[in-house]
Structure 1
Amino acid sequence: MSRARALPGLTLALAGVLYASWLIGPLLNPAFGLLDGYASELAARDQPYHLVFGLGDLVAGALASATGLALARRARGGPRWAWWALVAFGVATALDGTVSSMDCAPSVDARCARLAEAGALSWRNQWHSVSSALAIAAALASLLALLMSRRGRPASFRWGLAVAGVLLVGTAGTLAELVHPDAALGAWQRVQLLGLSGWLLYASGIVVTQGNSASSAGTRRASSAEPGQQRGAA
């Protein structure tokens, strides 16, 4: 496999792992269980170790946007839109962990919840909702474009459908909980986040297998050309 394909695949896989930094949340911030509240609250500015989770989003977003830009520049056809959407996701995710990180965690702070309900928190909280929504929309668009490009590869297409199912179920559940909140909000959002990490790993696999396919095709072309070249030399 060429380094040109191995590196983007590796960076996307790393972005997928870093995006799941919420999994270590209960270890660093015991106030949150694995399925409690918004995962973004771990990076709220008043929470312990918020810099760890903010940095996770920043690095994951930077890797995703840089890789998406590199892939989009050399891609042709449908997949190109998948990589441009990956760039948008990366930018929005990097903002989530830095500029638009939450002021405080309403799930564990009653005063924060009252301020949030009254709209008395800073502009960062308003922008956090926007950047998070943009990240989800971009990821869904990218996954759809990747699925369209893999229709001729049944195994890859089925894996993509499975990832899409997890992401869509998690997103639908999260939206429903926003309308009628209850204790299940954290669980639904974690399903959504697993779907997002799954999408990044799926995209990584596509990049790597495309590289392998291109390498195999080049080898076959070189092998088929050798007999003709030998006859010409004779």
Structure 2
Amino acid sequence: MNRARALPGLALALAGVLYSSWLIGPLLNPAFGLLDGYASELAARDQPYHLVFGLGDLVVGALAAATGVALARRARGWPRWAWWGLVAFGVATALDGTVSSMDCAPSADARCARLAELGELSWRDHWHSASSAVAIAAALASLFALLMSRRGRRGSFRWGLAVAAVLLVGTAGTLVELIRPDAALGAWQRVQLLGLSGWLLYAGGVAAARGDGSRHSTVT
């Protein structure tokens, strides 16, 4: 495998690892346990080391978007949709860590929680929910397209199904907790985040294999 073919896979593998920056959250910000609140609260503007987590989202977003564009331009069929979904995820994630980062951390700050209830936080904070929703929807669409493109390759397809199961369970649990909040919100969202990291790693493997990335690829 030459370097040009390996680069997209390496870029997405790096994105998958960096997207797990929440794992070091308790070390940099002891106010949050490993499963406490939203991971995005680590990048809230009033939190210590918020620039570290915001920069992590920016780098992940840039890697995903740039790699997606490069792969989409050469792909056909289902893979092309997968890579454009990756682009949408990348753009939304970059916004999450920068323009639409949260003002404050409601799960750790009663005043912030009250302001959120009253709708008195900034437009950036309000946009955060939208950019996060776009990122999740784009990732799910991309993973579905990857699965459709790999359904003739049994081993790869099974790995994709395992990743999809984790991501769907985490997403469903997070949605339920948003409707009826309790102490399990952080746990469900971390399952979702693990699914997203798994998807980035899986997409990196597909990109490295790269029947799906060439100009002459067909839907498998």
Partner-residue secondary structure (3-state), 2:102: coil
- Which residue of structure 2 aligns with residue 142 of structure 1? 142
Q: Note the C-alpha offset of 1:4.
A: 1.7
Say whether 1:159 aligns with 2:159.
yes
Give the gaps of 5 or more residues in structure 2.
215-220
**Aligned mates of 2:167, 2:78 — CA distance in 1:** 21
Percentage identity across aligned positions? 86
Partner-residue secondary structure (3-state), 2:166: helix
Partner-residue secondary structure (3-state), 2:210: helix
Partner-residue secondary structure (3-state), 1:165: helix
**Aligned mates of 2:113, 2:86 — CA distance in 1:** 33
- Which residue of structure 1 aligns with residue 69 of structure 2? 69
Q: Note the C-alpha offset of 1:2.
A: 1.6
**Aligned mates of 1:51, 1:19 — CA distance in 2:** 14
- Bigger Rg, which one: 1
Alignment of 1:1-234 (within 5 A): 1-210=1-210
**Aligned mates of 1:193, 1:17 — CA distance in 2:** 11
Taking CA–CA contacts closer than 8 Å with sequence separation of 6 or more, which of the two structures ends up with the larger relative contact order? 2
Q: Deviations over 1:89-146 (max 9, x none)?
A: 0000000000000000000000000000000000011100000000000000000000
**Aligned mates of 1:194, 1:65 — CA distance in 2:** 19
**Aligned mates of 2:91, 2:208 — CA distance in 1:** 23
Q: Deviations over 1:52-110 (max 9, x none)?
A: 00000000000000000000001111100000010000000000000000000000000
Q: Note the C-alpha offset of 1:208.
A: 1.3
**Aligned mates of 2:5, 2:76 — CA distance in 1:** 15
**Aligned mates of 1:2, 1:67 — CA distance in 2:** 17
Partner-residue secondary structure (3-state), 2:165: helix
Give the gaps of 5 or more residues in structure 1.
215-234
**Aligned mates of 2:10, 2:109 — CA distance in 1:** 39
Between Structure 1 and Structure 2, which shows a larger proportion of helix residues?
1
**Aligned mates of 1:168, 1:81 — CA distance in 2:** 19
Q: Note the C-alpha offset of 1:210.
A: 2.4
**4+ residue segments displaced more than 6 Å:** none
Q: Which amino acid aligns with 1:87?
A: V
The size of the alignment, in residue pairs, is 214
Q: CA RMSD in A?
A: 1.3
Q: Note the C-alpha offset of 1:161.
A: 0.2
**Aligned mates of 2:195, 2:128 — CA distance in 1:** 20
Q: Note the C-alpha offset of 1:32.
A: 0.2
**Aligned mates of 1:196, 1:171 — CA distance in 2:** 10
**Aligned mates of 1:5, 1:126 — CA distance in 2:** 40
Q: Which amino acid aligns with 1:166?
A: V
- Which residue of structure 2 aligns with residue 221 of structure 1? none
**Aligned mates of 1:5, 1:133 — CA distance in 2:** 31
